[in-house]
Chain A
Amino acid sequence: MVDLIFTVISLIVIVPLALFLGVIYSYLLRKLSARFQWRVGPMLRMYGDLKPLLGTTRLLQPLYDILKLYGKETIVPDVSRRRLFVYSPFLSLFFAVAAIFFIPFPGMPLLSGVPYSLIIASYLLIASILFTILGPVASGSPWAAIGARREVELFLVSELGFVLSLFAVAIARQSLVIWEISSGGQSLYLALLTVTAGALMFVAMLGKLHIKPFDMPEAEAEIVAGPYTEYSGKLLGTYYLTKVFLLYGLVALFISLFLPPIATDVLWLPLYIVAAVVLVFLLTSVQVLNPRYRIRNAINWYLKVAIPLGVLNFIIALAIWLVV
């Protein structure tokens, strides 16, 4: 009974916590990429004389963007399939929030202990991304259609890498429960798998979060805003909110699967934060150091590099399972 109450409370607490952390990670992405480009980026401490007008800090800049979008008019194009166009952002957000319930946070196992939670979490993440494709397709805009098509192509290859890395870990640890994987011990062989499968998961995250060189679904110079071209106001704000939750969810999943036991006990919290910041820093460095791939190059790259790496992971995982 106590466990049940604790789980319910932690499920309620994790949503604002994930939003806050997601906003901080998004802020870091923007700030670090600005610093890499010799810009200032959203300011941590505003200039003294501008404080009354512009606020003291812009640490929550992504949250302000979302709030502003919620205060704006929402335009629904006449040519769109209205129901799918309007509901897709909310369904996408729903699945992203549902996915974070299955990913542990230090001190809060949440629902990560339920059987097959790894499969549930990965399916919910897939569903969330699926609705970021379906909504734009329903909008009737050619730019959104091109963006959605690129997203589908990218999604197919990046998802393969994502699944291969998840299941390599699952085989090596002989468990499909995220909590069991994240509370397991470390050994030399598992550390080897962490490096190879972690690298693959990192690459898959680049595709899922549209980080350069895999940002062709949103290629601004070519296809306006890609999938989000026709979205405005609350619907666009919901998609941005989904992105924030996805960023948090993927970072949390990475830490809980590849860096056990950081995501288990509340005492690991400082290390968890450090790991998350390092991961976001790595994502940002990849973003600023790379130009955008064409879609064909991206697929070729995934097929030539990521998928063989995934197969290698599987071999290592099987060897660990059979030998160790």
Chain B
Amino acid sequence: MGIMDKARIYSPWLYHLHCGGCNGCDIETLAALAPRFDVERFGVQLVPSPRHADILLTTGCVPKQFIPMVKRIYEQVPAPKVVVAVGSCACGGSLFYDDAPENYAILGHPDLLIPVDVYVPGCAPKPEAIINGVVQGILKLAEKRSKK
């Protein structure tokens, strides 16, 4: 394993993409970053701009108004990137998702728009589960090579 691959594993930066959830998953996500669990000990940092991120952490079922934003944010993350879907809504749309008749306002889950690499189920998942999801994301990140 080269030094660049190591660096990729050692410093995963998260961008927290909230798309239309109830905020339960967001609270748990922030709890994972707060002093009790403190993922910064493994080099994980929450970054404010998607252009700085390695891991896109999405929560919530995607309302139809959010579709262009979610696509755009995904495209703004430079490769190599990994998407971690946190919570039941982000994994399968939960109670908001219907195949037929289609919900007039809710798309369902972000997998319909962007390729999701890791799913973290739970309503809301515990911080331990989110950290595990991030670790799985890091392992996937290590396999990917940058395009440029």
Contacts and interface: CB of A to CB of B under 8 A. Distances in A.
Q: How large is the interface on A (under 10, 10 to 19, 20 to 34, 35 or more residues)?
A: 20 to 34
B49 interface: yes
Contacts of B47: 225
A61 B10 contact: yes
A40 B40 contact: yes
B52 A228 contact: yes
A224 interface: yes
B80 interface: yes
A61 B7 CA distance: 9
Interface string A206-218: 0000000000000
Contact of A39 (B10, B35, B78, B80): B35
Given A55-B6, A64-B6, A64-B11, A236 B43 contact: no
Nearest to B145: A71
B49 A229 contact: yes
A132 to B, nearest CB: 16
Nearest to B10: A64
A75 interface: yes
Given A64-B6, A64-B7, A74 B78 contact: yes
Contacts of B9: 53-54
Nearest to A230: B51
A37 B76 contact: no
A315 to B, nearest CB: 44
A162 B41 CA distance: 35
A134 to B, nearest CB: 19
A84 to B, nearest CB: 18
Contact of B41 (A40, A67, A225, A229): A40
Contacts of A34: 38, 40
B93 to A, nearest CB: 29
Interface size class for chain B?
20 to 34
Interface string A39-81: 1111100000000011100100100110110111111000000
Contacts of B148: 73-74, 233
A53 B141 CA distance: 13
Interface in B70-116: 76, 78-80
B1 to A, nearest CB: 10
B78 A75 contact: yes
A71 B4 contact: yes
A72 B146 contact: yes
Contact of A54 (B4, B10, B80): B10
A229 B51 CA distance: 7
A232 B40 CA distance: 21
A58 B4 contact: no
B48 A37 contact: no
Nearest to B5: A71
B54 A68 contact: yes
Interface in B27-86: 35, 38, 40-43, 47-49, 51-52, 54, 76, 78-80
Interface of B: 3-4, 6-11, 13, 35, 38, 40-43, 47-49, 51-52, 54, 76, 78-80, 146-148
Given A58-B10, A75-B78, 16 more contacts: A39-B41, A41-B38, A42-B40, A43-B42, A58-B41, A61-B10, A64-B7, A67-B4, A67-B7, A68-B8, A68-B10, A72-B54, A73-B146, A75-B76, A229-B49, A233-B148
29 contacts: A30-B40, A39-B35, A39-B41, A40-B40, A40-B41, A42-B40, A42-B41, A54-B9, A54-B10, A55-B6, A55-B10, A65-B11, A65-B13, A67-B4, A68-B54, A71-B4, A72-B54, A73-B78, A73-B147, A74-B78, A224-B49, A225-B49, A229-B48, A232-B52, A232-B78, A233-B78, A233-B148, A236-B51, A236-B52
Interface of A: 30, 34, 37-43, 53-55, 58, 61, 64-65, 67-68, 70-75, 220, 224-225, 228-233, 236
